[in-house]
A and B are shown apart, each in its own frame.
Chain A
Amino acid sequence: MPKTLYDKIWNDHLVHQQDDGTSLLFVDRHLIHEVTSPQAFEGLRNSNRKVRQPKLTLAVVDHNIPTTDRSKGIDDKDSKIQVETLEKNCREFGVKLFGMDDKRQGIVHIVGPEQGFTQPGTVIVCGDSHTATHGAFGSLAFGIGTSEVEHVLATQTLVQKKAKNFRINVNGKLSLGVTSKDVILQIIGKIGTAGGTGCVLEYAGSVISNLSVEQRMTICNMSIEGGARAGLIQPDEKIFSYLKGRPMSPKNDKWERALEYWNSLKSDSDAKFDKEINLNGEDIAPMVTWGTSPEDVVSINGKVPNPDNEKNEDKKNSINRSLKYMGLKPDVKIQDIKIDKVFIGSCTNGRIEDLREAAQILKNKKKAEHVHGMVVPGSGLVKEQAEQEGLDKIFIKSGFEWREPGCSMCLAMNADKLKPQERCASTSNRNFEGRQGRGGRTHLVSPGMAAAAAIAGNLDDVRKYQN
């Protein structure tokens, strides 16, 4: 029977299957961070269990740590305890950790690929819903809860039931100024935040295969915002050359064997998908979210929706609720929305190409006087690379703050957060109520669009600013 890429990876990792379909799936790569792991390690300790495969596990601190000067450690008492708990747990259970002072430290989904820990055809899990990022490498990667983290630590497997196959084809070409962030926002707008529930997404088509490795990560990263636990892309030469020579990539004859296997990873041409949709690259404009759900998308040339045009009562209520929270009036032009802050970073858009994209727009320009701008590189290595290219100088000259790597204002667990009613153009992944700080208002955009908004002082079309 013809199989999809997801089917193949699933079959290859099946340790055991009950008659009712409940399966034990082998986990090749387990990523860990400080927020969702302490209770899992505590559980192991209470039941006298060990980490079954410490070498297949990699830990990093990211969610909770300061992005300002770290020489004095962490001010916040609870954050400090959480980071120290991870350090202690990693020592006790023999897990490799990139701590706060390690230059390889960064956001877990940026570090994995950077180190070559992420590899095609593997099953990758992490106690974080944006784990789907790694699907860009043709791996089956998804977020899990803390009880599941404990399960993986103890057994190196995960209890799962097979999901449905959902293919999203994006063909044609993207116009200038349109990025993979706009593609995924458009997809989420189309399928809705629950559109991918119960499914594994496969992104395909010429637009997808023409994307760089890092741009693909942005797409897979936001699969969860479309309701899917995992989203993946068939791996190709770009992926293989990205991985070659990375610290944890296979070496020598193992590399050759791996490559042979990786080349076999594709959906059969006659494979059946339970769901399939098609998008045209040419139809996608730079996108912005106007509301409090990632499905609330509109093109930069559009307007804030009017609830009076919505017939479904639940949807009308939900639009009204979002408008109230966002402090927006119906039918206002998106480009007339003034902003207070710009955040460039996160596991969605904190990689070197994202920083280059924003820097290119900001070069020789100043941010608007009233805007506060912040760039948070995704990892220490991204930061180092950006500094070698002089991007830090461009950001600083245009009036941005240049920070230390971490999750930062994407979820505002550390000191980086919006004040009530502050409005932010953000390259992150969620515009939920209170996500970036209580009462804060988030508009999700691409790095180029975030840069354009910083210059204009309002949401604006990046295509006006192409240097």
Chain B
Amino acid sequence: MKKFISLKSIPAYLPIVNIDTDMIIPKQFLKTIKRTGLGKNLFHEMRYDNDGKVINDFVLNTKPFDRSKILIAGNNFGCGSSREHAPWALLDFGITCIISSSYADIFYNNCFKNGILPIILNEEKIKDLSEYAKRKEEIEVNLQEEKIIYGNNEINFKIDPFKKKCLIEGLDDIALSLEKSSHINDFEKKLKSSKPWIFND
């Protein structure tokens, strides 16, 4: 996984609440057996019309937002389906940081597995930051210091320390868990005697 340390970009602002993962990447693109290549279909139904033509006034189709690395969106972002294709599509498009007042649990978790930083801020601060999207000015996200720098201002955000460490170091959490193999072995051994029906032998 690619490390996330800090990032500078003009943010794109999508002021819609309850953006679900069906909107982020519609089902017809879930037939892939790869993780990559989904960026062109990110927010497909908002970006292209029924005939597949680009909808010019959709934010991610306009310059400079077609190159935004930061997406600011309404609350409960990423609700619905567990499809990891949603963060894969964002990542493939180039978005590695999302700012919202809340996220659905599964999507939130999926972001961290892909080097994407989902930041939680209150609505008021989001309104402040969205001004920078409107003015097409860069903001800077610094994960190490847990702050967003915009103009002469700074906002602090909070993040789970373990999740932060994994992002900054780009850690593979399967490898981390496999380091605890002896605990898993012990657990399974105990389970075999305490709940023998669990193993279908």
Give A contacts to B, CB under 8 Å.
15-16, 18, 20, 22, 24, 26, 28, 35-36, 38-39, 42-43, 47, 49, 52-53, 55-56, 63-64, 76, 78-79, 81-82, 85, 119, 122, 127-129, 142-148, 150-151, 154-157, 159, 161, 163, 193-194, 197-198, 224, 227-229, 248, 250, 254-255, 257-258, 261, 293, 314, 317-318, 321, 411-413, 420, 430, 432-435, 438-439
Contacts and interface: CB of A to CB of B under 8 A. Distances in A.
B180 A24 contact: yes
B169 to A, nearest CB: 15
Given A56-B199, A127-B82, A157-B184, A39 B45 contact: no
Nearest to A163: B105
Interface in B143-201: 160-162, 173-174, 177-178, 180-181, 183-184, 187-188, 191, 195-201
23 contacts: A35-B30, A36-B83, A36-B84, A39-B35, A56-B200, A79-B31, A82-B31, A145-B84, A151-B173, A155-B184, A193-B79, A257-B197, A261-B195, A318-B17, A411-B27, A412-B27, A413-B28, A420-B50, A432-B80, A433-B22, A433-B45, A435-B22, A438-B26
B130 interface: no
A42 B84 CA distance: 15
Contacts of A432: 20, 22-23, 80
A289 B110 CA distance: 29
Contacts of B17: 314, 318
Nearest to A430: B80
B69 to A, nearest CB: 21
Interface residues of B, number: 58
Contacts of A145: 82-84, 87, 106, 109-110, 113
A248 B178 CA distance: 29
Given A146-B84, A150-B174, A197-B105, 6 more contacts: A22-B162, A24-B184, A53-B188, A144-B106, A147-B173, A432-B80
A26 B173 contact: no
Nearest to A321: B16
B197 A154 contact: no
A150 B181 CA distance: 16
A293 B18 contact: yes
Contacts of B105: 163, 197-198, 227-229
B199 A193 contact: no
A277 B104 CA distance: 21
Contacts of A22: 160, 162
Nearest to A40: B84
B106 A257 contact: no
Nearest to A52: B184
B159 to A, nearest CB: 12
Contacts of A157: 177, 184
A250 B161 CA distance: 42
A53 B180 CA distance: 16
A413 B22 contact: no
A32 B23 CA distance: 24
Contacts of A163: 105
Nearest to A29: B198
Nearest to A151: B174
Nearest to A44: B174
Contacts of A411: 22, 27, 81
B102 interface: yes
B6 interface: no
B22 A156 contact: no
Nearest to A248: B200
A159 B162 CA distance: 11
B64 interface: no
Contact of A26 (B22, B104, B161, B191): B191
Interface in B34-55: 34-35, 45, 50
Contacts of A433: 22-23, 45
Contacts of A255: 197
B10 to A, nearest CB: 24
Contact of B18 (A147, A318, A413): A318
Given A36-B83, A157-B184, A432-B22, A147 B113 contact: yes
A293 B79 CA distance: 10
Contact of B113 (A28, A148, A155, A420): A148
B183 A16 contact: yes
Given A26-B187, A229-B106, A85 B197 contact: no
